[in-house]
Structure 1
Amino acid sequence: MTDRDVHLPVAAQPTIDAIADYTRRAEAGGYDCAWLPETWGRDGVTVLTAMAERTDSIDIGSSILNTYSRSPALLGQTAATLQEVSDGRFRLGLGPSGPVVIENWHGMEYGNPLRRTRETVEIVREVLSGDPVDYDGEDFQLSGFRLRCAAPDPQPPVEVTGMGPKAVELAGRFADGWHGIMLTPEGMEDRLEDIERGAELGDRDPDDVAVTAGVTCCALDDTERARELTRQHVGFYVGGMGTFYRDALERQGYDEAVEIYDAWQAGDRGRALELVDENILDDLCAVGDPETAREQLERYEAVDGLDAVAVSFPRGADGDEIRRTMDAVAPQNSSSL
């Protein structure tokens, strides 16, 4: 059975209480995990702590903490602490993010993201073991570090993001899970082949890698509003958040992704949004009235090898639209779960 998770809003929220309320609502609706993004608002660790303390059964996870703005040792400490706070419900999601975030916002050099992610995961696992950490990598060299608290039991899973085939293959080789976004159901099938190839290279069982598809969802009775919000969201990510999303869409056969990106970068956002046509929305998202959105999510859940679908929301959606969407596609309202 495919899990149904929720990826909490990436857009700014008025208070930490509001985010915790979304998490409690997801727990009541039967969602399996609440994933929290960390972008340019509140730090993720503090908010994850509040989410853990105000819920009882839903898993909580970071999706994602980037591998540049915190050291691997600190990420290990953070994972151990959040596993304690949540009573064993924490899942650590890591990823390299991209140059726009790392260089422009954090002022750090963005280099060899695959290697940095692999080394970070390896160090985090050593930290979580409770043993002394002695690590000699290309990006990191550590010696003598050790947790001064009990090692978490069980250790939280360490999951990663990545867009391109090599990044996904690497996840299959070393991570406990992989999160994919900006992918159609057919695009997910292609990336699952990358997971299988990576698992084979790492002498692992691909079933040991939990695969999660993030799907932008907007389920409203006002279908025109739902599609407008979703179109703006896709246009922003393809056009304004570096080249990763553009490339992911182009790999799946959407040549207009380059035109969307170029128009957005040139400041012609109206043209960019026009190019996010109905086919892209229907293929890539779950958008429309509640019944239609549920059916579109079920297309992903039918993909063999997919472990979870994480419902996410357009960045322009307000609180009421987020709550209505979350309720409309909650597991307790789905006949397929």
Structure 2
Amino acid sequence: MKFGLQLGYWGAQPPDGVGELVTAAEETGFDAVFAAESWGSDAFAPLAWWGSRTSRVRLGTSVAQMSARTPAATAMHALTLDHLSGGRAILGLGVSGPQVVEGWYGQPFAQPLRRTREYVDIVRQVFAREAPVTSDGDHYGLPYRGPDATGLGKPLKPIVHPLRADLPIWLGAEGPRNIAQTAEIADGWLAIYFAPRLAGMYDEWLDEGFARSGARRSRADFEIAASAQVVITDDPAAEIERMRWVSALYIGGMGAPELNFHAQVYRRMGYGREVDEISALFQAGRKAEAAAAVPDELITDTAIFGDEAHVRTRLREWADAGVTMMLISVSDADQMRRLQTLVDL
């Protein structure tokens, strides 16, 4: 099982010490470095900037939000990063949620599965550079054919010759239909809140996608990158307490009350009653109470805190569940070095 460093997205300003972390990740034997975006920092520029310090690790977006850019624009970003890094880019994509898509990007959220399929198809056409890129889809028609179209749109191929027609596309997916489609059309799954005890359920969804006619990959060459908090510590209780606040935010505040994909993930884990309570408290502005309502088990289902022996044992559970990469956040270079002994699991 490989390790990936998750840089995430920024808060009010760029975090300190990231360049040193990225360098340490390469030196420690991490396989990849990923950057994310929400509605602030973007996912591509940090990889180009800090990734310039590296020569080996893969550089991935986890995730680039599809509504932020047209498919052609996203493909341009990816092929540019791939050239600059010598063929090390991974394009991780996700649909985000309606609050961000409609509220921040001003784009429609409806039919996310169909939009994803059209988006990936166009990006792959750009990477292949076999013919001018066209699409007769309902969401990303190329050339543009809306009521205000001039009729002068011309199908084009990218000027830049992509290094790789098979530049990997990984999809962030949380629900059963989205995960099945990911197994069908993508090269990897970016899994958030992966719980090894539910591996059988995930396998059913993935196998449905692998079995579809024209599926791109099989389980043998499909990557599963699970985002997880992994900390070697003698005080796991302190880490659990820290994570209560993060969990309460994502369950109660990262999505509309009517549609929160993160909350749905925890419901599938069996935490429906707890999700209802946390959500109600958070949305009422009682955030400390919401955090206090997060049970330890909800956190430790999807995170690993403890001494080296405990962490090593738990990582094997993720590997046995089919995870090929642990995508983790690391606070400093010292923690990175402590993880070095686990990289060759």
Q: TM-score by structure 2 length? A: 0.88
| Counterpart secondary structure, 1:201 | coil
Matches of 2:343 and 2:5 in 1, distance apart?
18
Distance, in Å, in 2 between the alignment partners of 1:137 and 1:171 is: 19
Using the TM superposition, name which of 238-247 and 5-14 deviates more.
5-14
Residue 147 of structure 2: aligned partner: none
Aligned positions, number? 326
Q: Decide whether the 8 Å contact of 1:91 with 1:157 is kept in 2.
A: yes
Give the one of 305, 326, 331 matched to 2:336: 326
1:296 aligns with 2:314: yes
CA distance in 1, matches of 2:205, 2:90: 22
Contact residue 220 and residue 324 of structure 1 kept, 8 A: no
Q: Distance in 1 between matches of 2:332 and 2:201?
A: 30
- Mapped to 1, the partners of 2:289 and 2:333 lie a distance apart of 30
Cα distance per residue 1:222-255 (max 9 Å; x no partner): 4343222222111211111111111001111112
Residue by residue, what CA displacement relative to the aligned partner does 1:55-92 show, whole Å, maximum 9, x if unpaired?
01011100000110100011111111111011011100
Q: Identity of aligned pairs, percent? A: 29
Q: How far apart are the structure 2 equivalents of 1:80 and 1:16?
A: 27
Q: 1:234 aligns with which of 223, 247, 266?
A: 247
Which position in structure 2 is the counterpart of 1:68? 67
Larger deviation, residues 246-255 vs 275-284: 275-284
Amino acid aligned to 1:148: I
Q: Are the aligned partners of 2:36 and 2:42 in contact in 1 as well (CA < 8 Å)? A: no
The correspondence of residues 1-40 of structure 1 with structure 2, limited to 5 A, is 2-12=1-11, 15=14, 18-40=17-39
Shift of 1:326: 3.1
Residue range with higher mean Cα deviation, 48-57 or 83-92 = 48-57
Q: In structure 2, do the counterparts of structure 1 residues 66 and 44 end up closer, same or farther at CA, with 3 Å as the change threshold?
A: same
Give the direction of change, closer, same or farther, for the CA distance of 1:264–1:35 in structure 2 (3 Å limit).
Answer: same
* Pair 1:18–1:103, CA change in 2 (3 A): farther
Aligned pairs for 1:248-259 (under 5 A) are: 248-255=265-272, 256-259=274-277
In structure 1, C-alpha distance between the alignment counterparts of 2:317 and 2:87, rounded to whole Å: 31
Specify every segment of 5 or more residues in structure 1 that has no aligned partner in the other structure, as ranges: 314-320
Mapped partners of 2:233, 2:117: distance in 1: 40
Equivalent residues of 2:124, 2:165 under 8 A apart: no
Following TM superposition, by how much is the alpha carbon of 1:335 offset from its aligned partner in structure 2, in angstroms? 7.5
Q: Does 1:265 align with 2:283?
A: yes
SS in 1 for 2:18: helix
1:287, distance to aligned residue in structure 2 (A): 2.0
| Deviation at residue 26 of structure 1 after TM alignment | 1.0
Residue 285 of structure 1 contacts residue 296 of structure 1 at CA under 8 Å; is this kept in 2? no
Match of 2:300 in 1: 282
Distance 1:188 1:18, change over 3 A: farther
CA distance in 1: counterparts of 2:58 and 2:341, whole angstroms: 20
1:171 to 182, 190, 193: 182
TM-score normalized with structure 1 length? 0.89
Post-superposition offset of 1:11: 4.4
Instruction: Report the counterpart of residue 134 of structure 1 in structure 2.
Output: 134
Secondary structure of the residue aligned to 2:135 is strand
- 1:153 is the counterpart of 2:164: yes
Q: Which runs of 4+ in 1 moved over 6 A?
A: none
Measure, in 2, the Cα distance between the counterparts of 1:7 and 1:186.
23
Structure 1 residue 309 corresponds to structure 2 residue 295: no
5-14 vs 155-164, greater mean Cα deviation? 5-14
C-alpha distance after superposition, 1:237-286 (max 9, x if no partner): 11111111110011111121222122211212222112211211222211
Quickly say closer, same or farther: Cα 1:322–1:67, change in 2 above 3 A.
same
Q: Is the 8 A contact 1:172 1:202 kept in 2?
A: no
- In structure 1, C-alpha distance between the alignment counterparts of 2:198 and 2:335, rounded to whole Å: 24
> Rg bigger for which structure?
2
SS at match of 1:233: helix
Asked whether the 8 Å contact 1:76–1:124 carries over to 2, the reply is yes
Q: Contact 2:78–2:89 at 8 Å: present in 1 too? A: yes
Per-residue deviation, residues 185-244 of structure 1 (Å, max 9, x unmatched): 123442232111111013432333211111123333443432222221112111111111
Gaps of 5+ in 2: 144-154
Distance 1:104 1:322, change over 3 A: farther
C-alpha distance in structure 2 between counterparts of 1:252 and 1:261, whole Å: 16
CA–CA separation in structure 2 for the residues paired with 1:326 and 1:114: 37
Report the CA distance between 1:40 and its aligned residue.
Answer: 3.0
